[in-house]
A = this chain, B = another copy of it.
Amino acid sequence: MSVTSAVDTAVKSRVTHDQESILLGAVEVFNRHGYDATSMGLLAENLGITKSAIYHHVPSKEYLLELALDRALGGLEGVLADPLATTSPAVSRLDFVLRAATEVLTDRLPYVTLLLRLRGNTELERAALERRRTFNRAVAELVDEAQADGAIRSDVDSRAITRLLFGMINSVVDWYRPDGRVSAAKVADDIVAVAFGGIRN
């Protein structure tokens, strides 16, 4: 079972079936054209339904953005709330967090893609970026702890390590394809292997 499926169920219960299909379609259009450049008219055209059909299910474009960002952020926050992220030595928790965060990206690819491309032009976007920063800070604290334990290298600042680790993880949205040759599990294995062990033999 996916470590994030319990969170998925909780988050998805907020939306109806019709909202769900509009949401996924909308997020794909946002990712292709940019959120700002997507009008409700363009959205309707791409979804193959009328604007009024969209408005029957969702009050606004911003509401769709809010649902989408909450799905991405809820997934990441769910990782930190997992018992495996709160017990055992810091380095083991960090291993779990990197693997589970990668799984959130591969599971919720369009939603996290949207989150990672936010420019912070509106209040809603800035609030989402602040939740992302809070998540990053929590991971940096975990790196701090693992450094204090002597398990992780200390010649690189914990925030720099966190940024580089999420540089690898976030790159997943640029190249991972759910229907591609490489499985989500192998992606997570590769990231954890390279993150902890480096590439040198």
CA distance A37 to B37 in the complex (A): 7
Q: With a CB–CB cut-off of 8 A, which chain B residues contact A193?
A: 153, 155-156
Given A119-B32, A163-B175, A168-B167, answer yes or no on A153-B201 (Cβ-Cβ < 8 Å): yes
Alpha-carbon gap, A166 to B33, bound state (A): 24
Judge if A34 is at the interface, Cβ distance under 8 Å.
yes
Against B, the Cβ 8 Å flags (1 = close, 0 = not) of A161-189 are 10111111111101100000010000100
A48 at the interface (CB under 8 A from B): no
Whose C-beta in chain B lies nearest to the C-beta of A36? B37
A40 in the interface, Cβ–Cβ < 8 Å? no
A187 surroundings in chain B (CB, below 8 A): 160
B199:A165 contact, CB within 8 angstroms: yes
A150: Cβ under 8 A from any B Cβ:
yes
Known contacts A150-B201, A153-B199; 4 additional CB pairs below 8 A are: A33-B36, A156-B199, A164-B171, A167-B170
